[in-house]
Every structure is written in C-alpha cells, then in structure tokens.
Amino acid sequence: RGGKARKGLQFAVVVTGLIFVVELVGGWLSGSLALMADAGHMATDLFALLISFLAIKFSAKPSTKERSYGYFRLEIIAALINGVILCIAALFITVEAWKRISMPKDIETIEMLSFGMVGLAANIVNAILLRKEKDNSVNVKAAYVHILSDLAGSLGVVGGAILIQLTGLMVLDSFISFFIAVLIVRSALNIIKEAVNVLMESVPKELDIGDIEKTLLDFDHVQNLHDLHVWALTSGVNALSCHLKVDDLQEGQKLLLPIHRELKEKYNIDHVTIQLED
C-alpha cells in the first residue's frame, strides 16, 4: 500500500473535516437545510476517508497469534456501521425536508452560496489529490467515489442558492435536500452491500471464478480441480484456496510458484493456498 495514497488520504481527511465544520456553521447561520444536509454528507465521507486511511495504516501491522490475518476486517466492520449511520442520517434529512415543504423557512442565500462555494472548492481539491492514486488502491478508489458524490452535493447547494436568490422560492431548499439524501442512501447501500459480501466471503465482484478456474486448468500437468474458493479479506486483498489434481506430484510442486505469480498479476490475489493431489 503506497505512501502517496496514504498522504493523499491524510490530506483529504483534514480538508474534509475542516469543510464539514464550515458547512455546519454555514447551514446554521443561513438557515439552509440543504447546506446542513451537505455538511452531513461531508461527515459521512469524512468517516469513509478515515476508514480508507486507517485500513492502509493497519494493513501494515503484522499478524498475531490471535489474529492470523491481521486487522484487515476492521475496515469492513467499520464500513458496515458507516453504511447504517448513512441511512439513518438520510432519513432525518428527508423527514426535515418534508416538514419544510409545508412550512418553508427564510434562508440567507448569500451565506448559503458562500459556504457552499467553500465546500465545492474543497471537494475539487480532494478529487484532484486522489485522482492519480485511485487506480492503485481499491480503498483510495472508494474514497474518490465518495468525494465525487460530495462534489455533486456541493454543486446542488451552490445551484440551489443561486435559484433561490433569483426566484425567491424557499421550498427549493427542501428539494435540494431530497437530492442530497438520495446521494447519501446510494453511497450507503453500496457500502453495506460490499461489507456484507466480504463478511459472507463472496467472490469479489471484479473477479470471475469461472475464468480463474480456466486459468488454473490451463497449466501443464493439471488434470482437474475441486473445492475452489475465492474471497476477500478486505477491499482489494483477495484470497484463494483449492485442490489441484495433477498427473505428477513432483511436476506439480514446480507449478506452485508460477501459479502464485499468475494469480497475483492477473487477478490481484495475494493469499493462495493450493493442495496438490495425485
């Protein structure tokens, strides 16, 4: 896990944390629920960034006698909790937005626009920081997707402030809040789904177990295989185990290193356990 990715995430955590506070204060001062909702969205993305940062940091810790795989699953447990909190936050935003449709509150659009622009600028900076490293780490890629989602929320706040200023329709603030709530739920459901799939030891979505089976059978001396299992220890850390039937055990032993190399290079599978059978 690269040092550049860790530094990029660390800077993104600091920037996102500061903008969360700024938008929260801005929402309170302007009376804008949309700005408060976007602050909540920033808070959830801050938590997601922290998960990604801590996952990279903890993955470097050695395994122990009690935790033979180390601390990989902490990321998944935290992600599951994060997803549930996201859904609860979106529910509260939706309920409050619904109430405001019937009783719109006055909004200070200049303050809403100013604080929204600050959030938009911060999200643009974060996106630029993580863009280069997103293809090198699944964790960073997930964080990058969160930032893009937040960027859309900030655009909604800025656009809403301009529209309210031009039209005087305070109810637009509620509709923007609904939009941000949808963004939050969408992110939450993806997080929950991925976390549950890892905990259920499902085949990672980016891998095709049929293609992996074909790759193993294509090696010389391999006649058949059974009990093939592919799963993720955490996001981007994949494992495989299987029984390979070979026509010669000595030749089969020579295949282990090339098989490990092929699985790593082609499928990003780090942990491989193969039982040879005559």
Q: Burial of 250 by CB count in 10 Å (0-12 exposed, 13-18 middle, 19+ buried)?
A: exposed
Of residues 79 and 237, the one with the higher pLDDT is 237
Residue 275's pLDDT band (cuts 50, 70, 90): very high
The better pLDDT of the pair 3, 228 is held by 228
pLDDT given at position 225: 95
Q: How far apart are CA 2 and CA 120, in angstroms?
A: 27
Condensed to tens digits (0 to 9), the pLDDT of residues 3-47 reads 666 677 777 788 878 878 887 888 787 777 767 777 776 777 777
Q: How far is CA 214 from CA 46, 57, 202, 223, in A?
A: 41, 35, 19, 11
User: Given pLDDT bands bounded at 50, 70 and 90, which one contains residue 262?
Assistant: very high
Handedness of CA 177, 182, 183, 188 (dihedral sign): positive
Here the tokens at position 243 are 């029984």
pLDDT top residue among 204 and 50: 204
Look over the chain and give the mean of its residue pLDDT values, rounded to a whole number: 80
CB count in 10 Å sphere of residue 264? 14
Q: Checking phi first, is residue 67 left (phi over 0); if not, alpha (psi -120 to 50) or beta? A: beta
> Which has more pLDDT, 240 or 26?
240
Per the rule left: phi > 0, alpha: psi between -120 and 50, beta: everything else, 268 is: left
DSSP character at residue 67: -
Distances (CA, A) of 260 to 131, 202, 265: 30, 21, 9
Distances (CA, A) of 176 to 21, 37, 41, 45: 20, 9, 13, 18
Residue 121 Cα distances to 25, 161, 208, 216, 272, angstroms: 17, 16, 39, 49, 44
Predicted TM-score of the model (pTM): 0.68
Model confidence pLDDT, tens digit, residues 94-144: 887 787 777 766 777 787 788 778 878 887 887 887 777 666 555 566 667
Q: What is the pLDDT of residue 19?
A: 78
The more confidently predicted of residues 143 and 88 is 88
pLDDT score for 1: 45
Return left, alpha or beta for 236; rule: phi > 0 is left, psi -120 to 50 is alpha, else beta.
left
Helix orientation angle between 33-59 and 138-167, rounded to the nearest 10 degrees = 170
C-beta of residue 183 within 8 angstroms of C-beta of residue 153:
yes
Signed CA dihedral, 167, 171, 174, 179: sign only:
negative
Q: What percent of the chain has pLDDT over 70?
A: 88
Q: What is the pLDDT of residues 149-200, one digit of tens each?
A: 777 777 777 887 888 888 877 777 778 778 878 877 887 788 788 888 888 9
Strands 222-234 and 237-246: antiparallel
CB–CB of 273/241 below 8 Å?
yes
What integer pLDDT is reported at residue 60 of this predicted model? 65
